[in-house]
Amino acid sequence: MVILITSKYKEKDNVMTAAWHSPISFDPSLYAIVIGKEGFSHELIEKSKEFGVNFVDSKIKKKVLCCGRISGKDRDKFKFCGLTRKKSKKIKAPLVEEAVAWYECKVIE
């Protein structure tokens, strides 16, 4: 399953597709994602130490593909790809309203 990773640092946020992800522990609750070091999302996550994991279904496939094809460094990918920001409860990064489920995560390593 492809997921959308959301991130934010100061006034900049981003959304990206990710295919490499997995729960790795239930107690403590840990979830792992794999993203490239050269990407904008990595930069935001490295600075903020948090991110959102957004589980999406095939109904928004075109929007998900859009997020994987362009950089958010110089454009608002939420707006460009037609996704809605959802306020998170525990992190500053937005979530994706169109997702069917979410995790709000803090970086530990």
Q: What is the pLDDT of residues 42-92, one digit of tens each?
A: 999 999 999 999 999 999 999 999 998 988 998 999 999 999 999 999 999
**CB neighbour class for 98 (10 Å; exposed up to 12, middle 13-18, buried from 19):** middle
Instruction: Count the residues in the chain.
Output: 109
pTM for this predicted structure: 0.94
Task: List strands edge to edge, sheet with 50-55.
Answer: 12-18, 3-9, 50-55, 101-106
Average pLDDT, the chain: 95
Query: What is the full DSSP assignment across 65-93?
Result: HHHHHS-SSSS-HHHHHT--EE--SSSSS
Domain ranges for the chain: 3-106
Identify the architecture of domain 3-106 in CATH: Roll (2.30)
